[in-house]
Amino acid sequence: MARITASVYTSHVPAIGAAIDLGKTHEPYWQPVFQGYEFGKQWLKDNTPDVIFLVYNDHATAFSLDMIPTFAIGTAAEYQPADEGWGPRPVPKVIGHPELSAHIAQSVIQQDFDLTIVNKMDVDHGLTVPLSLMCGQPQAWPCPVIPFAVNVVQYPVPSGQRCFNLGKAIAKAVASFDQDLKVQIWGTGGMSHQLQGPRAGLINKDFDNDFLDKLINDPEAAASIPHIHYVREAGSEGIELVMWLIARGAMSDAAGGPKPRAVRRFYHVPASNTAVGHLILENT
């Protein structure tokens, strides 16, 4: 049977992708950010899964504001890096896992979460920057990736609690797939940031570190944070953190199993307009 072996959490700041693509990772501004991911890059080499289930948000790239699915699962055989206005990033195409995607869609929809099925889409920085941070610049990504897009761009967006419960449903779906696959689930986006309005540039280290504490030790408490609290404390784009709760809900302890082991925790301010946060939790 398939099983979730670990979860990875990381910011997806687009300027990080540009720094990698333009060869700026050793510049003084960027060096501490990339240094913070050296552990994760080695860890991923040592713990390469068969599939990554990557929870991210599309930034009005594949889905324009004409049509906005709350939860969308990619079921395609492959996905191209999106052109977000300055040409597609020079990164490998993403190879999917249509069989596991179709199985998860079937199982999760039967568990009463209405997913949108996406047979064709391009993937933006929300998905490619986390892969770049964890993999560097390979010729091909190390394994197939299932893109799972969450609407955190246009209100109403899903609650943290619903995201956490969805993670539990995804874990059940993975556990009922009849192939012996190691699956990682990644939750991306965040941490505190606001890109527009009078509070543009807002970063809240206390909120972010408290969120990391809760995510590790008391995920139910993190799941109960209401939208208004994210907006007040973490800025308008801090709401991206609900995507981390999907990954956290898929860990064994959310279904009564043992607590995960936190093997990596990293936090750095600033990267572009954003506080960068990164965690790796292993199921034990």
- The tokens for 102 are 């179709």
Q: CB of residue 198 vs ligand DHB: minimum separation in angstroms?
A: 17
Count the site residues for ligand DHB by CB under 6 A: 11
Q: CB of residue 216 vs ligand DHB: minimum separation in angstroms?
A: 22
- The correct pick among 13, 20, 115, 241 for binding ligand DHB (CB under 6 A) is 13
In terms of phi and psi (left: phi > 0; alpha: psi -120 to 50; beta: otherwise), the region of 235 is left
Buried b (16+ CB within 10 A) or exposed e, 140-164: ebebbbbbbbbbbbeeebbbbbbbb
Q: Is 14 in the site for ligand DHB (CB under 6 A)?
A: yes
Residues 6 or more apart whose CB falls under 8 angstroms from that of 126 comprise 12, 56, 57, 58, 59, 149, 188, 189
Coil/strand/helix, residue 39: helix
Q: Is 162 in the site for ligand DHB (CB under 6 A)?
A: no
Cα–Cα distance, 88 to 58 (Å, whole number): 15
Cβ closest to ligand DHB, residue 43 vs residue 230:
230
Catalytic residue among 59, 103, 125, 278: 125
Cα–Cα distance, 93 to 82 (Å, whole number): 10
Within 30-59, the residues that bind ligand DHB by CB under 6 A are 59
- The correct pick among 95, 195, 262, 263 for binding ligand DHB (CB under 6 A) is 195
Q: Work out the end-to-end distance of the chain between its first and last CA atoms, rounded to an integer number of angstroms.
A: 17
Coil/strand/helix, residue 113: coil
Q: Is 268 in the site for ligand DHB (CB under 6 A)?
A: no
* Closest residue by Cα to residue 147 from 212, 72, 256, 45: 72
Cα–Cα distance, 245 to 225 (Å, whole number): 11
* Closest residue by Cα to residue 279 from 267, 270, 268: 267
Catalytic residue among 12, 59, 97, 193: 193
Catalytic residue status for 125? yes
- The correct pick among 58, 122, 208, 237 for binding ligand DHB (CB under 6 A) is 237
Q: CB of residue 270 vs ligand DHB: minimum separation in angstroms?
A: 8
Q: Is 274 in the site for ligand DHB (CB under 6 A)?
A: yes
- The correct pick among 130, 273, 278, 279 for binding ligand DHB (CB under 6 A) is 273
Q: Is 278 in the site for ligand DHB (CB under 6 A)?
A: no
Cβ closest to ligand DHB, residue 153 vs residue 263:
153
Question: Max CA-CA distance within the chain?
Answer: 52
Is the Cα torsion angle 238, 243, 247, 250 positive or negative in sign? positive
Within 54-83, the residues that bind ligand DHB by CB under 6 A are 59
Q: Show the binding pattern over residues 119-158: x = contacts ligand DHB (CB under 6 A), - = does not.
A: ----------------------------------------
Catalytic residue status for 12? no
Q: Segment near ligand DHB (CB under 6 A), from 39-47, 146-154, 197-205, 270-278?
A: 270-278
Cα–Cα distance, 204 to 182 (Å, whole number): 35
Q: Is 18 in the site for ligand DHB (CB under 6 A)?
A: no
* Closest residue by Cα to residue 121 from 74, 153, 84: 74
Q: Which residues of this protein are in contact with ligand DHB, per CB under 6 A?
A: 12-15, 59, 193, 195, 237, 272-274
Catalytically active residues, by annotation: 125, 193
